[in-house]
A and B are shown apart, each in its own frame.
Chain A
């Protein structure tokens, strides 16, 4: 097996145990490699075993705890910190892909300075600091501005202190997803500018008004965990979830009912529900509701029907359901942030308020940091730069030029622009100096999420490049300019941080010695104590609240730019894992698309894949044309596009020539200071131009094959859970035939039960997947990429269907035609580890075979590449290496230095011509068996977690031994909802699916 980039190559760089120049061939003769010993043994590290470091994920503002798996001094995988209150050991796809930010081949490797020719050239750190110091001498006071992303925590404090020391207070915070509408509503109603936390686990009725709470909204992993508990089927009970939004996004897949109101009118529905509750007195309404009573009473269900097109009856029913259970209503999602989004958020908060949910399922944490910054602030800064009032601009952790093209031209009017970006993104390109910050995994830092607590970050490895932590740079600058009084006298940022944590220790009333507290915080990833909730009550300003609906400007189609579940606001775009991660809805990779409803598509005369021009009143994208994706889950007359693609800089993966959704949005802040993600556009199709979508679904519907099955709550309660919905045509195997088959099978197996490796007792590894829990978030997919060294293959190969995703989420549209409601069925599909695996007997060389412990083994080095196994796999979960993905210079090279550093040394990197597939993370199974053997104990249920299971925020995946009747997986496999995909083929899969349960509205 050729191993251009092999396990050993990995071991080399830090070389605890072994290493090597790239060894070319390997079946027998090995090239001499080099072993480089450590000078001093690193703490806690044993070569060949992983060390885990606790730190905090900074890919979004949720503040998930991380356990970083480090092998031989290199971070190789990001996993959730089981002790974290936010994510409890789970981690989303974006969070896991943080590793590819660390090892991004397009990282800025050293300080850069823009020359007279506009090209960047490397300079030394000393020179770079000197340049700034020189300029700081000339500029002072408010002419110094610091633009950053959400840095709630010590860094924020440092920036403020540093600016103050230099006489400035201009710290502008800008996050693309700033939730300005939600915050404005909280400000207006309750007088607090902060973001709420939702306690889903207590709720049994969830209604979302355009909030993508399972995708990007506030804290998606936390939301998914809670929602999974609230909504999954459990002993005859489950919650109900209604989604109100013109577009059915990933979150809405789980919705039991999807209501598509007129665009921008969700607020009216929410307020009318509040109206009904107040009218009927069914809610646990606080007494001070009278302040807003006129507002609520003004919105009758009938009025709401007028505004939204949702019938009054439905609104009445929803209101009844809302108070019949513990409930939660969500609003203010970025994908629904139109000009009247503050109205929506106000209405939703009022709905929660009248139902008595505040403090119950909707909480404002006492220790939540105050929110800061908005789109309006950014635009104000742009204005100020245009007026020549900014002499020195620092940019850290935000990339406004990408989604606000006017900001770039404004920057031209600022003096010295200094970026701390790790990547040459659009904003860094406009700067004079780029002083690359350490990646969050290389940093000392802390973070305070809206859900409360103080989270620590520690460097998990040496810096990959010649980068420096921005905190250190600021301290150096302060020393150089002599403005280093107070906390700025700290020797380095770590000391500054520790000083800050002495305060935190006091705040959390910890009475141990500081070092004990510090070390314990490091081990746990921070301190989280339930600081309690803010007791919110209606502020005086609540009486002035107004409710409006969004009014389209001019004719045309309503355009929605929604946050992409894979790209986020765009910062995921330079990570190949995320680019290749199929969008949960469209299943499109490596580019953007325009979602169009079937009726609208017919009007436009387009089908999926047709290339269209989209133009708004201010913008028309000339770069290329945008492919259409016909989607039944979007309201007629509405088109939608994911944010995050269409970068012009930001690295080879990001700058992929597709369109940027935010460009089609109107400039300028809305009344509440945010940006409207709605606009009116026209779509033109000249005819004839078409591209093959880089889509990972062959067909969008399951053609009655019963792949992803569902049942209804009512059927389960009535004891008809075994009924196959969506599998009308699959003829079941008659029972007596099945008996004969089973008997015959037993007889066959007797042959090998006492032979060779098959003799004796063995586990039968198996998995169960609860479709009622799966939200299609793709976290498992990225976990698999990370754990099993899966290559990313790029757009062209995905168009040929050659993606290597060992686990994929199959997404099937149901209904949506002939007046039936549109629904989506999901099914995570990985190797089913069939007992009677069709792939095995056809392999001529036993590369595919059955292990004694029930795995469907795939021996890569034995594989000749006949691909017969893949033909014969009914589930199509075998993936072939068409190219040498790990080889430099290959057409589809997946691991440009240093991306190869992420490779898991426990898993063989496959060469070209070899079939590969999921083996239930056999390296983890063997690893756990080794550990148990070393410790002299037996494995117990739960000792082994597959990568997908470990990260699943919904806890949908359970792995274990089927031969152990007490294991979780055994019990789940005998559930009334259990079924095998294509079970009629008698493959006897090891993966059991539990049917999705739809909690239909009571008639």
Chain B
């Protein structure tokens, strides 16, 4: 789109400009930043109050209406885990595919991953009845001589999410080290001290790079199956059960595609304002957005296909419970949630077949918001709507969330954005070293190979 193109500079990126431009993203923030931070902290306070309220009185203050024993918390949990996934996809999988364009956006994506997992990880705690005993899920030696049930998908989930958090945090930190070293060498005052410590003595020597590139490759190689497994495991929280609408073999790929879909949308949502605020439109260009929107299109098509297959199999299986469950999704009490989901995730991505739309940043921004909304509703539909219409007709109920749940959900967004804001003003949101890697360093002689 013309407006966005205008903002891009024509000056070519060099090592020096990159270091400078990225370094300029940190530093003493303006009033706008503090206003944002204030809003975020207010949201966090609301979330915190809601959570304390819930802990004080019990889960009854949430809207749980049996048979809907899982509600907004698990919906939001899956939503955040999903968000996390595109980060690892961009940072690890595309790295393995040697996809050069990823370098400009991967740091944002990876930071988003870590913060999204940090947010997601809170929800299983928030949702359990006795938060103070949640540590019983960890298999540690105890005087009761009891272990945990490794057959439970929730234990898998614990392992998967904590592994994911550890590995993606590691990946983020490892990626950050050379960049922090760059910052260290430019910064002054307390920041210099901060970066001196956090750069872990990085100097970019040939030996360091030698081990670093290898380690990075293996981390990426490990993160790739991990990212696929994490959302598979999350999907098995549902697929391992016998709830009609949950018990489906398609769930793992369906969830992974959905996760990446939502995550890419969130990356777009974050990048659009960020590149503007940080004035790095020349580093994160429209081409990057086009590539992201192609990813969005691909995963959106997979998600749409999964929707179709779900309905088809429900019909084709002849299983009356499945059929009823899916009929209820489309035409039952929660029809609006289902159709929101289908509209946002199934229909809207078709717009991305048009190159013009793929390259329109405002358009992509709006679309990404819709996709985020749609993907939240997808989880809501899968979780709440399936549960509300299970096997026993005597036990069917209509769930409506309460202010406590909305408050905690708001708090979770605040929590996520708080970390993002703090990170963005103190650490490079674009990978300096990796962006440099893909642009040529000046040569004295032109080499033609």
Contacts and interface: CB of A to CB of B under 8 A. Distances in A.
* Co-complex (A, B): yes
Contacts of A844: 136-137, 148-149, 152, 154-155, 158
A802 B66 contact: yes
A880 interface: yes
B70 A871 contact: yes
A802 B242 contact: no
Nearest to B156: A844
A311 interface: no
B34 interface: no
A891 B61 CA distance: 9
B151 interface: yes
Contacts of A914: 129-130
B394 A891 contact: no
A925 interface: no
B190 interface: no
A81 B127 CA distance: 46
B395 interface: yes
A979 interface: no
Interface stretch (B52-60, B271-279, B295-303, B408-416): B52-60
B64 to A, nearest CB: 7
A874 B129 contact: no
A435 B394 CA distance: 46
Contact of A697 (B63, B65, B387, B394): B394
Contact of B60 (A697, A870, A883): A883
Contacts of B133: 864
B396 interface: yes
A325 interface: no
Given A698-B394, A705-B391, A867-B129, A913 B59 contact: yes
B243 A872 contact: yes
A699 B67 CA distance: 12
B10 interface: no
A841 B131 CA distance: 21
B324 interface: yes
A800 interface: yes
Given A705-B391, A842-B153, A882 B59 contact: yes
Given A705-B391, A914-B129, A868 B154 contact: yes
A572 interface: no
Interface string A844-885: 111000000000000000111111101110111001111110
Interface in A672-727: 696-699, 701-705, 707
By DSSP majority rule, is chain B's interface helix, strand, loop, or mixed? loop
Contacts of A915: 129
Contacts of B154: 842-844, 866, 868
B235 to A, nearest CB: 14
B160 to A, nearest CB: 13
Interface string B290-331: 000000000000000000000000000011110010000000
Given A868-B154, A982-B391, A698 B396 contact: yes
Contacts of A23: none
A882 B392 CA distance: 21
Contacts of A890: 57-58
Nearest to B387: A871
Interface string A785-823: 000000000000100111000001011100000000000
Interface in A943-998: 982, 985
A730 B240 CA distance: 22
Given A843-B152, A864-B137, A883-B58, A703 B324 contact: yes
B35 interface: no
Contacts of B240: 841-842
B394 A829 contact: yes
A114 interface: no
A888 B287 CA distance: 63
B243 A871 contact: yes
Contacts of B127: 866-867
Nearest to B392: A876
A18 interface: no
B58 to A, nearest CB: 4
A138 interface: no
Contacts of B152: 841-844, 868
Nearest to A892: B60
Contacts of A862: 136, 146
B391 A875 contact: yes
B397 interface: yes
Contacts of B319: 731
Q: Give the interface size class of chain B.
A: 35 or more
A729 interface: yes
B378 to A, nearest CB: 18
Nearest to B386: A871
A591 interface: no
Nearest to B153: A842
A865 B134 CA distance: 9
Nearest to A915: B129
A320 interface: no
A872 B241 contact: yes
B153 A699 contact: no
B240 to A, nearest CB: 7
Contact of A801 (B134, B393, B397): B397
A838 B242 CA distance: 7
Given A801-B397, A872-B243, A882-B64, A845 B137 contact: yes
A291 interface: no
Nearest to A861: B133
A985 B242 contact: yes
A841 B149 contact: yes
A705 B393 contact: yes
A249 B60 CA distance: 34
Residue of B131, B152, B391, B392 with most chain A CB atoms under a 10 A cut-off: B392
B128 A841 contact: no
Contacts of B69: 867-868, 870-871, 880
A864 B392 contact: no
A912 interface: yes
Contacts of A867: 64, 69-70, 127, 129
B110 interface: no
A704 B387 CA distance: 19
A872 to B, nearest CB: 4
B405 interface: no
Interface in A170-226: none
A492 B346 CA distance: 84
Contacts of B179: none
Nearest to A876: B395
Contacts of B321: 705
Interface of A: 696-699, 701-705, 707, 729-731, 797, 800-802, 808, 810-812, 829, 838, 841-846, 862-868, 870-872, 874-876, 879-884, 890-892, 912-915, 982, 985
7 contacts: A705-B321, A801-B395, A842-B154, A867-B69, A874-B242, A874-B390, A982-B391
Given A701-B393, A862-B136, A881-B129, 20 more contacts: A699-B396, A730-B320, A801-B67, A841-B149, A844-B149, A844-B152, A845-B136, A846-B146, A862-B146, A863-B130, A867-B69, A868-B70, A874-B391, A875-B395, A883-B58, A912-B58, A912-B59, A912-B130, A913-B59, A913-B129
6 tightest A-B CB contacts, nearest first: A865-B129, A913-B129, A698-B396, A882-B60, A876-B395, A912-B58
Interface of B: 57-60, 63-67, 69-70, 124, 127-131, 133-134, 136-137, 146-149, 151-155, 158, 237, 240-243, 318-321, 324, 387, 390-397
